[in-house]
Every structure is written in C-alpha cells, then in structure tokens.
Amino acid sequence: MNNQTTLWEYRLQAEDSGQKYLAILLHKFHFSLKVLQRLKQGERVWVNGRFTYLTARGKEGDLLSIQLFSDEEANIPGEDLPLDVLYEDEYILAVNKPIDQVVHPNHRYPTNTLGNAVIGYWKRRGEHRQYRPIHRIDRNTSGVVVIAKNQFAHQQLAWQLERGHLHKRYHGFVQGVVREIEGTIDDPIGLAPDSFIKRQTQINGQPARTHYRVLHRYPAATFLEFILDTGRTHQIRAHCQGFGHPLLGDDLYGGDLTFITRQALHSSMYAFLHPATRLPVIIRAPFPIDLRVLVKTLKVQE
C-alpha cells in the first residue's frame, strides 16, 4: 500500500456474528453502494490480517480492516494560494475561507478559488486527491468550510448532512434592532423574478427554516446567531431581508453599506461525527479582520 492509504478498522461485536461483512458495512456504518462496489476491486478488505470477500460472514472479535482509498487524479487544477487550515487528519480538512473567494471553480470564477487552493496545498505535500467540499458558502461569506479527503469520508458526511445530523452555526450583523430574543423564520425561498442570482421568500419556493438568537443589540444593528435546518442558496440573506432586517453590507438584499461593504455573515461553527471514529468533531473559525473592525465601530455608537 502507498503512503496515501488509510485503513478503516472495526472489531465485530456479538450482534455482528453471522452477518455478512457487506451487510455490516451497509446497514451499521452506512457505506454507500458506490463505495462498496469500489472495495470489491482488488484486495481491499481483510479480516484478522487476511484477505476476505465482503460476502463472507463474520464472528464476534473479528478485526475488519478496509483500505479506503489510494492516489486519485485531482479533478481541478491546483494553485499556490493562501490557505487557513483549522483542522486536518486523514479523512477531513477544515479551512477558514476568506471573503472574495468562491468555494468551487465555475465559469465566472475559473481560478483563485478555495478548491484551487486546497488542491495546490495537497500537491505541495505530495498528496493526490480530489476536491470534495461537503457544503458551500457564498463568495463574500467568511468562515468554516469542510472538505472530505476521500470518497468514504465524503459519503459519510453527506449522509449526516441529508439527515440533519451535521450542524452549522453562523453569526451575522443585521440592520435595525431585533426585538424578539429568539425566533424561527419558516418561509419558502425561490428565485426572485427576472434574476438568476437573487432569492426571495415566496409561497411556491423550496422549504427553508432558519433559527435565530439575539447575542447583542446596538443602537442601529443587531448581532445574531443563526442555525439552519435547511441549506438553501442565500437562505440567511433572503430570510433576513424577508423579516425586515437585511444583513449589514448586503447590497443585493437591501443591506446598508455604511459600515461594511460585504454581507456581515460568518460561518462560525461546524459540528458532526467523525466519519471513521464516530466521535463528535467541532470546528470553529474566528472572525476575520473586517468583522472585528465592524464590532468596534458599532460599540462606539453605544
């Protein structure tokens, strides 16, 4: 095995006795059919140090070992760009994305993206991987982005995301004084008329639910914490405009540009179960300079 091989291991319990390894991986650990199909190619599965087939049946005490991945060709070009790494192990990479950077290359932003930075970072370390972000945040939203380092980790985290087991927390500064200490915005979101970018709350849109809590009130602004039950494009931005308190600096959604010239929104925390150990992982990203300056400016007005 090469230096990029990761072994996933599990010691079978009493309830696993007599079960096929395939069934254990599929039902107990939620391995996708795509990952399981890949495991059948070559000698990738061992029990107690000996090669086995996934259709074999196990017994209590068996040590099941799986070669999860090897070198992969990068799916986007790498570039030598700054990268603020918050956490990294064999399975996941978490970074603090700066403003004015998109998460993945597209026709408008083919280079200088977070993806180009991540691939370049791995290549400089001699690692050959594909870029698999678990989620995306807007170009001018700062904060945590989590990237899976192999197909298994991506599938495991995507499974958690789909079932609401993966939790994201944002912090933002909105216009005006929000009177309620906390609340929930449960308004569907869809594309605004005559726009391919802007969203708005509308009856026939996709379901969207945002929970908010007031952390601090300033004379003309409110510092809020947001927790999302759904992950619609521009969800927080559209919901804030919809309930009359657009994010400061968010000119697309009616935000005041007096204090800051980008939406004052930060992806501050990401919590999930580790794809291999299943232990809780919490990733936090500190505020960037412009938001720290914003806080000082708002405090002067108090």
Instruction: Give the residue extent of every domain in the chain.
Output: 7-67, 168-267+294-300
251 is catalytic: no
pLDDT value at residue 299: 94
pLDDT value at residue 70: 63
What 3-state DSSP class applies to 216? Answer: strand
From 29-43, 136-150, 214-228, 276-290, the region with the lowest mean pLDDT: 29-43
pLDDT over 60 (residue 212): yes
pLDDT over 50 (residue 41): yes
Superfamily of domain covering 7-67: RNA-binding S4 domain (3.10.290.10)
pLDDT tens-digit series, residues 250-280:
999 999 999 999 999 999 999 999 999 989 9
Q: Which of 16, 138, 187, 256 is catalytic?
A: 138
Give the CA dihedral 160, 164, 169, 174, nearest 10 degrees. Answer: 140
Output the six-digit token pair for 206: 């996709």
Q: Which one has a higher pLDDT value, 51 or 43?
A: 51
pLDDT over 90 (residue 35): no
pLDDT tens-digit series, residues 230-242:
889 999 999 999 9
Q: What is the mean pLDDT of residues 122-131?
A: 94
Binned at pLDDT 50, 70 and 90, residue 5 comes out as low
Residue 239 pairs in a beta bridge with none
Burial class, 249, CB count within 10 angstroms (exposed 0-12 / middle 13-18 / buried 19+): buried
Q: Which position has the token pair 């070009």?
A: 77
pLDDT tens-digit series, residues 276-297:
998 999 999 999 999 999 999 9
Q: What is the mean pLDDT of residues 203-218?
A: 97
pLDDT tens-digit series, residues 54-75:
999 999 999 999 988 767 889 9
Q: Which own/partner contact pairs does 279-286 have at CB distance under 8 Å and 24+ positions apart? A: 281/87, 281/92, 283/86, 283/87, 283/94, 283/144, 283/146, 284/86, 284/144, 285/86, 285/96, 285/142, 285/143, 285/144, 286/96
Superfamily of domain covering 168-267+294-300: Pseudouridine synthase (3.30.2350.10)
Report the alpha-carbon angle 172-178-182, nearest 5: 80
Binned at pLDDT 50, 70 and 90, residue 194 comes out as confident
Output the six-digit token pair for 153: 């980790």
pLDDT value at residue 94: 98
pLDDT over 80 (residue 2): no
Helix (H) or strand (E) holding 30: none
- Torsions phi, psi of 101, nearest 5? -145, 125
pLDDT value at residue 3: 44
Q: What is the mean pLDDT of residues 173-201?
A: 95
